[in-house]
Amino acid sequence: MNGILEQICKTVRGEVSPSKIVLFGEKKNGDVLREASLLIVVKSDPKEAERRLYRVLDCDIAFNLLVYKEDDFLVAEKDETSYAFSIMSKGRVLYG
């Protein structure tokens, strides 16, 4: 895993104790990661987790976060028409 992604995952795990982190979008310039999109699944309030993460994550790349509450995610990931299903079928699980 890329060093920047490792640091992001470590920070996310320390801040919101997610059950899952999935990379579902990335842009690179050669081998250098420039942007990442992450799905994060939490047991707590997803809006509060998202606000908290945007405040504490400090890295050299642009990033987007999509935060789901665990109960909602478990339903959505089984629905073939949902964004969560698409992410899980194409994304790469980094944690969980």
Please report, for the chain, the start and end positions of each structural domain, with discontinuous segments joined by +: 3-95
**Average pLDDT of the residues in 48-53:** 97
CA distance 12 to 75: 23
Q: Provide the pLDDT for residue 20.
A: 98
Q: In whole angstroms, give the CA distance from residue 45 to residue 24.
A: 22
Looking up tokens 């995610």, which residue turns up? 73
In CATH, the number for domain 3-95 is: 3.30.300.90
pLDDT recorded at residue 57 = 94
Q: Tell me the whole-structure pTM to 2 decimals.
A: 0.93
Q: Is 19 a residue whose pLDDT tops 80?
A: yes
